[in-house]
Structure 1
Amino acid sequence: MQIDKIENFPTFKKVRKNWDYVYAADTHAHFFLSWVLLSGLLPMVHEPWLILAAKPDTHEPSDYVAFFPLKLTLKKQHGGGFAPQLCMAGNSLDYTGIICLPEYEEEVIPAFATYIQQQLVWSSFELKNILETDTRMALFLRSFSRDSFDFSQIRIHNEGEDTDNYIAPYVSLPDDWNQYLQNYVSSNTRQKIRRFFRKIETSDEFYLTQVDADNLQSHIEILLKFWESRWRKQKGNECDVIINSVRAICLHCFKHNCLYLPVLWQGDRPLGAIANFVDVERKSMLFVITGRDRSWNNPPPGLILHAEAIRYAIKNGFKVYDFLRGNEEYKYSFGPKERHIQHIVVKYKNPQKKPLDVRTLPLAFNLTVKEHQANQITKAEQGYRQILEVDSNHPEALYGLGVLMRQKGNYQTAENLLKNLLQVQPNSIKALFSLGNLYQTQGQSSQAIEAYNQVLTLEPDAIAAYNNLGYALQQQGKWEQAIACYQKALKVKPNCVEADVNLGNALHAQGKLSPDKQAHYAQLNYKLGLARTKAGDLQTAEVYLQKALELNPNCGEVYKSLAEIYKRQQNFKDAEAAY
């Protein structure tokens, strides 16, 4: 069996006809594995994705007989760095799995497992939300040797919730709506549905609108507004991600004629909305999301909207109404059965350190930068080095590690990294600027001046370069040139506090600062010292705080801040003196 990788959207688009054929033939396929839905989902997947595509091993041209959507991601290691992880491409949605022509199942599925072990780089493989037959799961998992791999079945419950998201209720629909009411729901629910439907059908006050091109945007926003009002407090910032994803996938599905999204109204007031995916091929309707006015219960919007969706599905010959994951109590009012999805993790028993897949480097870099910004220096260093093991000329990793090495006081290593970056990007302004800062930290003012002048050649209005150049000139006693640099920085940006402070300090050194101005600049130096302390730049912070004391020796808060810096530097003698 030949296994190919589909790793970009243009290639994925080319296999649509082939994909649709396999999807139609696979009786175990579900809508989340349809080409239509994946074509909307994959552009929203932030991690690198790939699709394994299998075709018979023959000399004759042939179509693919199976597809397996996956994605590459990273798992943070306790001591820093990342372990490559393989996941299901659609695990942000409700179901994942494989599609395959039935006659090739026994050959294809072990071939996928073998390819994953031999050709893909991973330490753990997370099969999350997988909905497959026992036969397929057995074929797949037994291809992983028990001597080499550990297997675990995961069951995660959201804190504070009783819902079991590994249960997926669904209704096998009859051919007739009245038959459904008679045989699937309780007499109480049946009476409610009939009563409320009569109320809607005979009233000018209540009515339902179906989604169309004219009301698409408004229907979606009504739905999302109701949903947000229910979940914003609980889900926090995650709410925005979900809202944007649902909006995008609803627009996509409407474009492909597979969205059912009615709104229930009382006059001009929306009472609730529901979004369902419509899978014509599988004759199924899948409940995605609902929202309602929680101050309104008569008639109850949720009951009406689900009942109307089921009635619509039966009328159009659908065979399944799928509530998807979660065994919430209200779903059982509609007479569902249950099916179970799985969450299995496969791990190497003795994992070797594995290089990152080059496609995961952007993800690794973003995670590393966050660690660096959080001052998790050891972890950030591991991340940068792991990236450079794969791409030794990665510009951002060279820069990030160079800055980090300067923070650690490893000046020679920092210099080498920044010079390596300049070999890759000779006109890198931030590399030249950082190199200038590095030289300045070491008291090498001539080299610093040269680096800052190179920056200004490339970017004549670089305020920070003028400011730092002025400071380097100041260190050489070239006061007039230094003052000119500070003034140039302030001309470009009049509210540049650092340039203003340095100008004041330079004027004070020449005896050109009035007592009132001394008090003003003492306070500015103090504030900058606090800011640099917070940023972790203790060396620069100390300079500003010392200058604040020089301008105003009676400021007790400055002594206290200096003492804190000395304590962090484990310079307890000076800390005690400052206190």
Structure 2
Amino acid sequence: MQVDVITDVETLAKMRQDWERLYKADPEAQFFVSWAWLVPYMRFYKGAWFVLAARLGNPGSPYVALMPLRMRTRMSGKTGLFFNEISMAGNNAADYTGAICDPVHAEMALKAFGRHVAQMGWARLNLENLRMSRERVFAFIGQFSRDIFAMREFSRVNAADNVDNCRCFAAALPDTFDGYLDNVLSTNTRQKLRRFLRKVDAGELRITRADADTYERDIDTLLDLWRIKWGARKGDRLAAILHNNRRVLRDSFRNGTLYLPVLWQGDRPLGGLAIFVDPVKKALLFFMAGRDEAVTSVPTGLILHGHCIKLAIENGLTTYDFLRGDEPYKFAFGVTESKINCAQIYTKSGRNNGDRLDTRSLNGIFAEVTRLHQQGQLERAENGYRQILATDATHPRALYGIGQLLSAKGEHREALVHYQTLANSVPTSAKAWLRLGMELQALSRHIEAAEAFRKVLSLSPDFAGAEFSLAKSLAALDRIENAIETLEALEHKLEAASRDDTLLAKTRIMLKRLKLESRPSYIMLNPDRKSVTRVLSTAL
């Protein structure tokens, strides 16, 4: 089985037919790995997402399994080294994650995915909210060598309220709403729900559904009510959570997968639900809620959930999924339990597998290393440059950066090696040849330095700094006349350009010194003292 790695939106778009075919065929597939929900979400992580795609035949053959993932880069606070971390593509928004497979080839595909991931460069693999059968899970994790990797499982129990978010609950829906009320709910819950739904029918309360004109208002209402309830607990994460949820809800509405009912009493919103609609798996999925905590006389949640379950049954849906968490209210709706897994596979060394960074992360790492360099965190910057070059030995900006850093430390021999590599890999870079010449000059290798500076001037004839440096090396080689000619030409150029700067001043100082040194001086050997005496006598 062959595994392709999809990283660009154009190729991804061509996979839609395979994706939707596999989603429909896979009994383990769930809404958060559907094309309609996950692909729009992945696009927010440009350059980070990738999809493992398994096929049996030659390139172009239909795919038999897909596993969407996401890569990010982090830096160890302990070692200062960068490492890569892989997560499921839906992380931070999806209640469930996983893969989609042709059931016939599922375990074989998961083994192939495991082998592929085990060969990639990363230090942590987060299997968060993984909803997958044991057979598929073990097929995947069984490919990671215990000599290199270890695994730890996590519980997801909230300390504040003891809610276990690895427990998930869903209600199987019968053919009729009356059948659901009579055969699933308790007597008290059934009577209470019927009584308040009659109030809705009578107009004492009303339920609106978000549409093209109201969805922005309704999303804002929902999130504001949610913030009032949960904001203090979320602390510093609140703004990011609200931003992420607003983005997800907007996209879901635009894609036709969001149902957002709001319960009103007059003009006062009492609460709302965000419900995802999955027509393929015939399910509604309750994503989040917000309600006015000041109103205690109306069971907002019961009314809205009852309304949504009634709507689901009337439209032929068979599942109402409450998603993660064992909050007590869910048990009133006749739910059954399932569980998800949260685990992390990690390298025992704490460094990337194979001590190499993922190539797609290099530009982002370089930006961070540059920031460290500029801030004077030289040890960490040097480590970062070396990590980049260990993965891509000809990364031009890393070669230039580490050359600068080493040169400033006086380590000219190693700096020279990096600039030689840079000049060879980017032979049209005038700056690379200039830096190469400067390191040769610092090592008193002036013949080679002069050649490097001439190369700069052949690429960039007006590079004044290269002309000055060339003159320095010529002078060091005792080619004074050539040095003077070079400096005089440079002085003329700088004056013609009306430059009155440090380089012009340095040019004049060096030119003056070389001209003085170039004048002939005569020393008289064995002077005739008598002749001197006669001259003095005549003068007197």
Please state if 1:316 is matched with 2:320. no
Name the residue aligned to 2:155: 155
Name the residue aligned to 2:42: 42
Name the residue aligned to 1:135: 135
Shift of 1:134: 1.4
Indicate if the aligned counterparts of 1:393 and 1:424 stay in contact, CA closer than 8 A. no
Indicate if the aligned counterparts of 1:44 and 1:245 stay in contact, CA closer than 8 A. no
Shift of 1:237: 4.2
Indicate if the aligned counterparts of 1:84 and 1:354 stay in contact, CA closer than 8 A. no
Shift of 1:33: 0.9
The aligned amino acid for 1:88 is M
Shift of 1:411: 5.8
Indicate if the aligned counterparts of 2:6 and 2:50 stay in contact, CA closer than 8 A. yes
Q: For this pair of structures, how many residues does the alignment match?
A: 444
Deviation per CA, 1:291-329: give whole Å up to 9, x if none: 122212221322222222222212211111111122222
Name the residue aligned to 2:335: 336
Shift of 1:247: 2.1
Deviation per CA, 1:136-165: give whole Å up to 9, x if none: 112222333445532322224445342211
Deviation per CA, 1:55-76: give whole Å up to 9, x if none: 11359x5311111111222343
The aligned amino acid for 1:43 is R
Indicate if the aligned counterparts of 2:88 and 2:127 stay in contact, CA closer than 8 A. yes
Question: Cα 1:418–1:32, aligned 2, differ >3 Å: closer, same or farther?
Answer: same
Question: Cα 1:158–1:364, aligned 2, differ >3 Å: closer, same or farther?
Answer: farther
Indicate if the aligned counterparts of 1:272 and 1:290 stay in contact, CA closer than 8 A. yes
Shift of 1:210: 0.7
Shift of 1:405: 6.9
**Please, what TM-score do these two structures have when normalized by structure 2?**
0.72
Aligned-partner Cα distance in 1 for 2:178–2:273: 22
Indicate if the aligned counterparts of 1:6 and 1:51 stay in contact, CA closer than 8 A. yes
Q: How does 1:524-539 map onto structure 2 within 5 Å?
A: none
Deviation per CA, 1:462-499: give whole Å up to 9, x if none: xxxx9xx79x99xx99xxxxxxxxxxxxxxxxxxxxxx
Question: Cα 1:425–1:190, aligned 2, differ >3 Å: closer, same or farther?
Answer: farther
Please state if 1:63 is matched with 2:62. yes
Name the residue aligned to 2:106: 105
Q: How does 1:114-133 map onto structure 2 within 5 Å?
A: 114-118=115-119, 120-133=120-133
Q: Which has the higher mean CA deviation after the structures are superposed, 150-159 or 6-15?
A: 150-159
Indicate if the aligned counterparts of 2:258 and 2:277 stay in contact, CA closer than 8 A. yes
Q: Give secondary structure in 2 for the equivalent of 1:234.
A: helix
Aligned-partner Cα distance in 2 for 1:188–1:370: 63
Aligned-partner Cα distance in 1 for 2:281–2:396: 49
Question: Cα 1:411–1:133, aligned 2, differ >3 Å: closer, same or farther?
Answer: same
Q: Give secondary structure in 2 for the equivalent of 1:57.
A: coil
The aligned amino acid for 2:180 is Y
Shift of 1:412: 5.9
Indicate if the aligned counterparts of 1:47 and 1:73 stay in contact, CA closer than 8 A. no
Question: Cα 1:137–1:207, aligned 2, differ >3 Å: closer, same or farther?
Answer: same
Q: Point out where structure 2 has 5 or more consecutive residues left out of the alignment.
A: 436-463, 470-493, 510-540
Q: Give secondary structure in 1 for the equivalent of 2:323.
A: coil
Shift of 1:195: 1.9
Name the residue aligned to 2:264: 265
Q: Give secondary structure in 2 for the equivalent of 1:174.
A: coil
Q: Give secondary structure in 2 for the equivalent of 1:10.
A: helix
The aligned amino acid for 1:99 is I
Shift of 1:95: 1.1
- How many percent of aligned residue pairs carry the same amino acid? 37
Name the residue aligned to 1:177: 177
Question: Cα 1:266–1:122, aligned 2, differ >3 Å: closer, same or farther?
Answer: same
Please state if 1:274 is matched with 2:273. yes
Question: Cα 1:50–1:306, aligned 2, differ >3 Å: closer, same or farther?
Answer: same
Shift of 1:241: 2.2
**Please, what TM-score do these two structures have when normalized by structure 1?**
0.67
Question: Cα 1:405–1:58, aligned 2, differ >3 Å: closer, same or farther?
Answer: closer
Aligned-partner Cα distance in 2 for 1:40–1:357: 24
The aligned amino acid for 1:27 is P
Q: How does 1:516-527 map onto structure 2 within 5 Å?
A: none
Indicate if the aligned counterparts of 2:26 and 2:100 stay in contact, CA closer than 8 A. yes
Question: Cα 1:373–1:337, aligned 2, differ >3 Å: closer, same or farther?
Answer: farther
Q: Point out where structure 1 has 5 or more consecutive residues left out of the alignment.
A: 432-445, 452-456, 461-465, 478-579
Aligned-partner Cα distance in 2 for 1:44–1:63: 27
Q: Give secondary structure in 2 for the equivalent of 1:296.
A: coil
The structure whose Rg is larger is: 2
Name the residue aligned to 1:345: 344
Shift of 1:25: 0.6
Name the residue aligned to 1:359: 360
